DNA sequence: CTGGCGCCTTGATGCGCGTCAAGCCCGGGC
DNA sequence: GCCCGGGCTTGACGCGCATCAAGGCGCCAG
C-alpha cells in the first residue's frame, strides 16, 4: 500500500475520528489527538489472533477501533475466565503502562478487528506534559476497576439462573425489541457465565418453558423484561 | 488538644514519616510530602467505624497509618464480599478520585486504626503540577487491578480446600514460624474465602488430620508449607 | 456456682451443577 | 442422494457444599 502524504493524512484523520469517539480521548483537543495518532500503530487482527499474553512486558495500551477483544485469564486448571469483552471505542491494558510486571491477562480478538496500539514510552512522556491526560487515564482505570468489582458481584450470585437473568437484563436493555444477538456460540456464553454449556442449555429451557424468553440459534429474545427482573430479585431475596 | 506550632510540627513530621513508608509516596521529595501532609486529615477510627459507604461522593483517598481497613461490597442478598483488607502503608480508594459515580464499595475499620484522608481537590491539583505523582497513582491503581484479578482467580478455584490452601500458602510466606494470626473470627475468614464457617471448620479439620497444620483459637500454624503447596497443585491438576 | 450467650465443631440432609453419555439437528463434502 | 462432524439438548449420576440442627466449650454477669 503506498503511503503518499495524502494517504497518510487520510489515515491520520481516520484515527483521530475513532479516538474522538473513544471514552478515553473524547473531548481532547485535536492537536493532542494528532500527536498521539502520530506515534500509534494500527493493527489488523484475524479472529483468534492474540494481542498479548499474560506476563509479557507492556508494549503500550490499546484502543479498539472495530471488532471485539476478549480479555481473559487461564487458571491453573487450563480453564479460561473471561474478564471483559472490549468493543469499538474502548481502551484496554492501561494498567500495564505503570507497572513493571507486564500484562496481567491475555487478550485475543474474537472477531476480525482493527486495534490501535499506543506505545508505552511516548504516552508516558505525554502524560508528563499533559496532566489532564493523566486524569483521563486514572478515570479509565477506575472504570475498569468497577468492571472487575461488578464481575465479583456476578460471581457471588451463586445461581447459574441468577447470573443468566442478570446477563439477560443487562444485555436486554441495549437490545432493540428484546432481541439479543449472541456474540458467539452458546458454549462461549456459558464460559462467560462461568458454567457449562449443558447447564446453560437447561437453564435457558426452563426460562423458555416459563414463557420469559424464546431461544433461537444465535439469538435470545426477551419476552417479558420486567418478569425477568422480578425473577432475579426473587432469587436474590431467598438467598 | 492544643495545636502549638511545635505540636503541629511534630504531627507533620510523623505524617511525613508514614507517608515515606507507604508504597504510593515512597521516594517522593520531602517538600512534596510536606505539601500533601499539609492538606491531609488524620482520622481515628474505632473497630467497626465506617470510612465510607458504597455510592457516596468521593471525599478523597486514604492511606492507612495503623490498624486495618476492610473494603467490601454487600450483595443484593445482604452477604458481605471482602475485596481486600488494607494495612499500614497501603492506600485505598484512589479509583474514586477520577470518577463521578462515588465510591464503588464500603470501607470499615476491623481494628482501631488511624487513617490519613487526602482530600480530592488539592490532590487533583497537585497531580496536575507533578506528573510523576500521576504516574504513581496509575501504578497504585494498576496494583489494585491486579488484586482484583487475583481475587477472580481465587474465586474460580472451585474447591474450598483449594482456596484455603491458596490462602494459607500466601499468608504463610509472610508469617514468622508459619504462625498465622487470624484477622478476626473464623467466620470472617470463611467469608473472605467465600464459604460458610461450617465448611471452613471441616476443611481445617481435614488438613489438621493430615498433620499439615495446627489450629488454635485465633491462629493457624503451618507445619509443612511445601506439602500444602503440593496439595494445592494436586487439587489444581485434577481439575 | 450457675445461667446465658457466642463461637466452634460435627452430623444429617438436600440441592445445584459438573460430568459422562446418548440422541437430535443441521450444514458441508463427496 | 449419503455420510460425517460439531453444536445443542436431555437424561443419569455423583460430588461438594449450604443449610439445619444439636452439642461442647469459653466467657461474662449475676
Q: What pLDDT does residue B184 have?
A: 81
Q: A23 falls in which pLDDT band (50, 70, 90)?
A: confident
pLDDT at A71 over 70: yes
In whole numbers, what is the pLDDT of chain B averaged over residues? 86
Q: Are residues B75 and B124 in the same domain?
A: yes
Determine the Cα–Cα distance for residues B216 and A232; give it in Å rounded to an integer. 41
Look at residue B38 and tell me if it is in a domain: yes
Q: What pLDDT does residue A18 have?
A: 84
Q: pLDDT by residue (tens digit) across B39-82?
A: 999 999 988 889 999 999 999 999 999 888 888 887 766 677 77
Q: Are residues A26 and A126 in the same domain?
A: yes
DSSP chain B: ----HHHHHHHHHHHHHHHHHSTTTTT--HHHHHHHHHH-EEEEE-TT-EEE-TTPPP-EEEEEEESEEEEEEE-TTS-EEEEEEEETT-EE--GGGG-SS--SSEEEESSSEEEEEEEHHHHHHHHHH-HHHHHHHHHHHHHHHHHHHHHHHHHH---HHHHHHHHHHHHHHSSGGGEEEPSS-HHHHHHHTTS-HHHHHHHHHHHHHTTSEEE-SSEEEES-HHHHHHHHHHHHHT-
Look at residue B200 and tell me if it is in a domain: yes
Q: Are residues B63 and B165 in the same domain?
A: no
Tell me the mean pLDDT in the region A32-41: 91
Q: Are residues B213 and B99 in the same domain?
A: no
Cell triple for A80: 479460561
Look at residue B111 and tell me if it is in a domain: yes
Q: Are residues B122 and B229 in the same domain?
A: no
Tell me the mean pLDDT in the region A39-55: 90
CATH code, B98: 2.60.120.10
Q: Are residues A67 and A176 in the same domain?
A: no
Question: Quick check: helix, strand or coil at residue A79?
Answer: coil
Question: Quick check: helix, strand or coil at residue A81?
Answer: strand
- C-beta within 7 A of nucleic chain C, residues 193-212 of A: 194-196, 198-199, 203
Look at residue B145 and tell me if it is in a domain: no
User: Cell 487475583 belongs to which residue?
Assistant: B150
Look at residue B36 and tell me if it is in a domain: yes
Q: Are residues A124 and A164 in the same domain?
A: no
Q: Do B128 and A132 make contact, defined as CB atoms within 8 angstroms? A: yes
Closest-CA residue of chain B to A166: B76
Look at residue A148 and tell me if it is in a domain: no
Look at residue B9 and tell me if it is in a domain: yes
Percent of chain A, pLDDT > 90?
Answer: 38
Q: Does strand C come within 7 Å of the CB of B191?
A: no
Q: Are residues A48 and A117 in the same domain?
A: yes
Which candidate from A77, A153, A239 shows the least CB-CB separation from B236?
Answer: A77
Question: Best interface-test mutation with B: which of A125, A131, A232 has the largest number of B CBs within 10 A?
Answer: A131
Q: pLDDT by residue (tens digit) across A76-103?
A: 666 777 788 888 899 999 888 888 889 9
Determine the Cα–Cα distance for residues B116 and A42; give it in Å rounded to an integer. 44
Percent of chain B, pLDDT > 90?
Answer: 39
Look at residue A79 and tell me if it is in a domain: yes
Write out the residue range of the structural domain in which residue B59 sits. 5-130
B86 exposed, middle or buried (CB, 10 Å; 0-12, 13-18, 19+)? buried
pLDDT at A8 over 70: no
Q: Does strand D come within 7 Å of the CB of A155?
A: no
Closest-CA residue of chain B to A235: B77
Q: Are residues B81 and B185 in the same domain?
A: no
Question: Best interface-test mutation with A: which of B120, B134, B153, B238 has the largest number of A CBs within 10 A?
Answer: B134
Q: What pLDDT does residue B86 have?
A: 87
Q: Does strand C come within 7 Å of the CB of B214?
A: no
Q: pLDDT by residue (tens digit) across A148-202?
A: 888 877 877 778 999 999 999 989 988 888 899 887 889 889 988 889 999 999 9
Cell triple for A119: 506505545
Q: A68 falls in which pLDDT band (50, 70, 90)?
A: confident
Q: What pLDDT does residue A200 have?
A: 96
- Give the count of domains, chain B: 2
Q: Which residues of A touch B146 (CB under 8 A)?
A: 95, 99, 101, 104
Q: What pLDDT does residue A63 have?
A: 94
Residue B133: which of B141, B42, B145, B148 has the closest Cα? B141
CATH code, A221: 1.10.10.10
Structural domain ending residue among the three candidates A111, A130, A149: A130
Q: Are residues B114 and B206 in the same domain?
A: no
Averaged over successive runs of 10 residues, the pLDDT of chain B (239 residues) comes to: 58 80 85 90 89 93 89 75 84 88 89 91 88 86 87 81 93 87 87 91 96 93 94 79
Which candidate from A124, A137, A145 shows the least CB-CB separation from B144?
Answer: A145
Q: Are residues A120 and A213 in the same domain?
A: no
Percent of chain A, pLDDT > 70?
Answer: 93
Q: Are residues B113 and B185 in the same domain?
A: no
Q: Does strand D come within 7 Å of the CB of B194?
A: yes
Q: Which residues of A touch B129 (CB under 8 A)?
A: 131
Closest-CA residue of chain B to A82: B152
Question: Higher-confidence residue: A28 or A219?
Answer: A219
Tell me the mean pLDDT in the region A221-228: 94
Q: Locate all alpha helices (DSSP H) within chain A, ordered by sequence.
A: 5-21, 30-39, 120-129, 131-156, 160-174, 186-192, 197-209, 225-237
pLDDT at A134 over 60: yes
Question: Quick check: helix, strand or coil at residue A233?
Answer: helix
Q: Does strand D come within 7 Å of the CB of B159?
A: yes
Using CA of residue B218, residue B221, residue B225, residue B227, what is the dihedral sign? Answer: negative
Amino acid at each position: 500500500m503506498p503511503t503518499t502524504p495524502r494517504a497518510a493524512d487520510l489515515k491520520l484523520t481516520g484515527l483521530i475520528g475513532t479516538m474522538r469517539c473513544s471514552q478515553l480521548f473524547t473531548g481532547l483537543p485535536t492537536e493532542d489527538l494528532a500527536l498521539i495518532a502520530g506515534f500509534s500503530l494500527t493493527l489488523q487482527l484475524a479472529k483468534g489472533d492474540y494481542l498479548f499474553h499474560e506476563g509479557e512486558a507492556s508494549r503500550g495500551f490499546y484502543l479498539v477501533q472495530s471488532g471485539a477483544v476478549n480479555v481473559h485469564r487461564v487458571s491453573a486448571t487450563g480453564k479460561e475466565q473471561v474478564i471483559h469483552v472490549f468493543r469499538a471505542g474502548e481502551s484496554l491494558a492501561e494498567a500495564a503502562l505503570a507497572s513493571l510486571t507486564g500484562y496481567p491477562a491475555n487478550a485475543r480478538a474474537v472477531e476480525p478487528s482493527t486495534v490501535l496500539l499506543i506505545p508505552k514510552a511516548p504516552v508516558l512522556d505525554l502524560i508528563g506534559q499533559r496532566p489532564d491526560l493523566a486524569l483521563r487515564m486514572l478515570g479509565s482505570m477506575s472504570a475498569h476497576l468497577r468492571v472487575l468489582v461488578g464481575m465479583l458481584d456476578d460471581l457471588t450470585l451463586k445461581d447459574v439462573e441468577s447470573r443468566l437473568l442478570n446477563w439477560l437484563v443487562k444485555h436486554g436493555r441495549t437490545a432493540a425489541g428484546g432481541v439479543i444477538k449472541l456474540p458467539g456460540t452458546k458454549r462461549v456464553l456459558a464460559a462467560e457465565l462461568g458454567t457449562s454449556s449443558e447447564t446453560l442449555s437447561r437453564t435457558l429451557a426452563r426460562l423458555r418453558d416459563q414463557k420469559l424468553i424464546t431461544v433461537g440459534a444465535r439469538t435470545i429474545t426477551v419476552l417479558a423484561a420486567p418478569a425477568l427482573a422480578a425473577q432475579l430479585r426473587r432469587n436474590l431475596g431467598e438467598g
